Amino acid sequence: MNRGPERVAASAACAGAKADKLKAAVAAVNHQSLTRLTTALGRSGGRLLRLALEVAYPPTCVLCGAPGWGELDLCQGCLADLPGLAPSCGHCARPLAQGMPDGAICGQCQHRPPPYDRCLACFRYQGLVRKLMGDFKFRQRLALARLFGQLLAETARWESESCLPEQLVPVPLHPSRLRQRGYNQSLEVARVLGRALGVDVESQLVERVIATPPQLGLAREARLVNVRDAFRLRHPVTAGHLAIIDDVVTTGATVGELARLLKAAGARRVDVWAIARTG
Ligand SMILES: [Zn+2]
Ligand SMILES: [Zn+2]
């Protein structure tokens, strides 16, 4: 790790050129959610640059091996290929039908609002995003935590800069699943995210006391039953505003159960931040 003064000065000098490059790229990309993300990257290029100085490996595209775009482990072309989420619900982040305004509240949330306050996600869970998340979660490709943490940090800055949470709470794995996998993918992302945003990661606040079977493939009602009472607090909640960190939000049953627990323990606001959201 080298953070000598010359390298820091060099990073400041490149920030202007970087912003121009990013702005030009934003103009070339005709996709709403990607435009939001890339504009956010332009605004905070300096911060991402500092983040990159903290790690020993140069940014390299995880999909094609080309040099990364800015400090991301993705090149500009591959980033443009990833499935965006907009337009999506302003409460649960579920994709809305094309033509709906981004941020409108979906019928399901109007009818039965979820227990969390707001869900943010970077991408739609399909195609290349689905493949990368499978590599990260099931095939030990742990280096992807850096990319996912960076992307989620930029999305969160862009969407909620004036209202960042006091603590990040990664969804815990049951000890038996943790032993099997060797790592908790949500915690790995939360660590990168916490460093990038300057927000504490609270990985010991909740534990998973029931080893629930995987949620994928279950119907909504079955998922709700599946996760009921799955979590337990290990100590009192001290923060008023928390963000739950998850890799993929599907029906929202797991993060909903966790949000309910945190709110019952006194949290005023509980958001959910995820890499991807299913439709
Ligand atoms: Zn690439
Ligand atoms: Zn909704």
Nearest Cα to 169, choosing from 273, 263, 74, 67? 273
Beta-carbon neighbour count of residue 219 at 10 Å? Answer: 8
pLDDT reported for residue 5 = 36
Which pLDDT value is given to residue 161? 64
Ligand 1 centroid vs 93 CA: distance in angstroms?
Answer: 26
Residue 69 Cα to ligand 1 middle (Å): 9
What does the pLDDT read at residue 22?
Answer: 37
- Which residues place a Cβ less than 5 A from the ion ligand 2? 89, 91-92, 106, 109
C-alpha to C-alpha distance for 270 and 37, rounded to whole angstroms: 23
- CA–centroid distance, 144 to ligand 1, in Å, is 14
CA of 110 to the centre of ligand 2 (A): 7
Q: If you measure from the C-alpha of residue 221 to the centroid of ligand 2, how many angstroms do you get, rounded to a whole number?
A: 17
Instruction: Report how far residue 255's alpha carbon sits from residue 73's, in angstroms, rounded to the nearest whole number.
Output: 28
pLDDT given for residue 212 in this prediction: 73
Question: Of how many residues is the chain composed?
Answer: 279
Ligand 1 centre and the CA of 189: distance in Å?
A: 21
Please state, in angstroms and rounded to a whole number, the distance separating the CA atoms of residues 164 and 195.
13
Which domains does the chain show, CATH number per domain?
5-81 (no CATH), 107-277 (3.40.50.2020)
pLDDT for residue 153: 94
Q: Which ligand is nearest to the CA of 77?
A: 1
Helices 144-160 and 32-43: crossing angle, nearest 10°? 90
User: Which pLDDT value is given to residue 124?
Assistant: 96
> pLDDT tens digit string along 238-256?
999 999 999 999 989 999 9
Please report where in the chains the tokens 């970077």 appear, as a residue: 122
The pTM assigned to this predicted structure is: 0.79
Q: Report pLDDT for 179.
A: 92
Q: Are 146 and 55 in contact (CB under 8 A)?
A: yes
Instruction: Identify which ligand lies nearest to the alpha carbon of 256.
Output: 2
Kind and range of the H or E element at 150?
Answer: helix 144-160
Dist. CA 89–CA 92, nearest whole Å: 6
pLDDT of residue 13: 34
- Predicted confidence at residue 57, as pLDDT, reads 75
Q: How many Å lie between the centroid of ligand 1 and the Cα of residue 129? A: 13
* Alpha-carbon dihedral 199, 138, 254, 217, rounded to 10 degrees: 150
Q: List average pLDDT for each run of 10 residues in the chain, which is 279 residues long.
A: 36 36 37 48 49 66 94 93 93 93 95 96 95 93 93 88 90 93 95 96 94 66 73 95 96 93 97 94
Phi–psi pair at 141, nearest 5 degrees: -85, 70
Residue 191 near residue 145, CB atoms below 8 Å: yes
Quick one: which ligand is closest to 63's CA?
1
* Ligand at shortest distance from the CA of 59: 1
Q: What is the DSSP string of 133-144?
A: HHHHHHS--TTH
Question: d(Cα 110, Cα 90) in Å, to the nearest integer?
Answer: 11
Are 189 and 170 within 8 A, CB to CB? yes
Ligand closest in space to the Cα of 60: 1
Please give the distance, rounded to the nearest whole angstrom, from the Cα atom of residue 92 to the centre of ligand 2: 4
Q: Is 111 helix (H, G, I), strand (E, B) or coil?
A: helix
CA distances from 82 to 34, 37, 130, 136 (A): 9, 12, 10, 16
Dist. CA 273 → ligand 2 center (Å)? 14
Taking the CA of 76 as reference, the closest ligand is 1
For 154-190, letters b (16+ CB in 10 Å) and e give bbbbbbbeeeebebbbbbbbbeeeeeeeeebbbbbbb
CA distance 38 to 27: 10
Distance 28 CA to ligand 2 centre (A): 30
Other CB atoms within a 10 A radius of the CB of residue 8 amount to 12
pLDDT for the residue 187? 97
